[in-house]
Amino acid sequence: VLQAKKVDPHLFSLVFGESALNDAVAIVLFKTLSTFLVMDAFGDKSSLGVATLKFIAHLLVQATCSPLLGMFYAFCIALALKAVDLRGHEMLEMSLYVMAMYVPYMLADALELSGMISIFFTGIFARRYMAPNVSEATRQHAEMLFKLFAFLAETCIFLELGLSVFGLSGKYQWKFIGWALLAALLGRAASIYPLAAIYNLSL
């Protein structure tokens, strides 16, 4: 929608980045808390303080190692593309450029880190350091390919969400739904307004 309306690219980056990081943090929090639930189910009765420290440590590891992995991989591929000129081999150059966006996700998943955060930072640094080292044709083809993948992924997600409504069964916990919506709105407000204020200061 923002691209169709041709809004300020900085606004698009802020909204998209905030949304993507929100999703990534939500996944990390879910995995961390579900681990504690499994520990409790199997009789691991750790104290609240120990469990809290484990939770904070796990969150810090995810928040630091996942971005670092994405940035490090992007730097390595950028150096490789700079050292080896592949502009005469378009298919090989295109393959390496596209795979560089997917490999960090697999590495992060294998290391039990957040793949979404890793590829998010890989994309940021790839645009800055990898793109200048490939040909213009590769950049254009890769951009079209990424837009195609993004469109197909969004379509599949919306179809899944829409069709899953018909498969819901059981009781609705309206109290839980209400608190969840309130928490989501407060979380959005707590992140969007400070970011908007910081951006306005830079104008």
DSSP string, the chain: -HHHHT--HHHHHHHHHHHHHHHHHHHHHHHHHHHHHHHHHTT----HHHHHHHHHHHHHHHHHHHHHHHHHHHHHHHHHHHHS--TT-HHHHHHHHHHHHHHHHHHHHHTTS-HHHHHHHHHHHIIIIIGGGS-HHHHHHHHHHHHHHHHHHHHHHHHHHHHHGGG--S---HHHHHHHHHHHHHHHHHHHHHHHHHHHHT-
pLDDT of residue 96 exceeding 90, the answer is no
User: Which band of pLDDT confidence, cut at 50, 70 and 90, is reported for residue 182?
Assistant: very high
pLDDT at 40: 63
Q: Is the pLDDT of residue 58 over 90?
A: no
- Over residues 190-196, the mean pLDDT reads 80
10-24, 37-51, 52-66, 78-92: range with lowest mean pLDDT: 37-51
Q: Find the mean pLDDT for residues 141-163.
A: 85
Average of per-residue pLDDT across 28-33: 74
Q: What is the pLDDT of residues 108-146, one digit of tens each?
A: 888 888 888 888 888 888 888 888 888 888 888 888 888
Model confidence at 85, pLDDT cuts 50, 70, 90, reads confident
More confident residue, 42 or 176: 176
User: Quick one: pLDDT at residue 88?
Assistant: 76
